[in-house]
Amino acid sequence: MTLSGDTGKVVLALLAVALVFALPRLWTPGVGGLLRDVRWRREEDRWRRGGGPDEVSRSYWTAREMRRDGERLSALGYVVADQHSELAPAPDEAPVVSVRMTHMRLRPRRRTGGPQFFVTYTRRPR
């Protein structure tokens, strides 16, 4: 089956739109992740030429974003000084008693947005 004429153009346009919206989500969480990545790459280039600060604090939305940026910073001579996360705690399995019924909480309470990992890097002594 081949598509020709206007039908082919419409199908290609829909595929192009789908790729524009789908590809960024495969690598980073939305437009914000892309913008942070671009900003951090520019900082990296500037710090390669001019030194950079002694301490860098970053917040990450995903573990992958944290790993990629950590690799870039370690290449510049930074090491992790402090690291913590705000992931949801384990589910509360104690029964919740209300006036009408007793039930178990099966899901942990989660934050609905915001960075999940916080890391402070310091420059390695030379």
pLDDT of residue 52: 87
**For residue range 57-91, what is the model confidence (pLDDT) as tens digits?**
999 888 888 999 999 999 999 999 999 887 665 55
Provide the pLDDT confidence category of residue 3 given band limits of 50, 70 and 90.
low
Residues in Cβ contact with 95 at an 8 Å cutoff, skipping those fewer than 6 apart: 102, 103, 104
- Locate all alpha helices (DSSP H) within the chain, ordered by sequence: 5-27, 30-50, 63-75
Whole-structure pTM over 0.85, yes or no?
Answer: no
Average pLDDT score over the chain: 76
| Structure tokens that stand for 55 in this block | 């301490």
**Domain residue extents for the chain:** 5-106+115-123
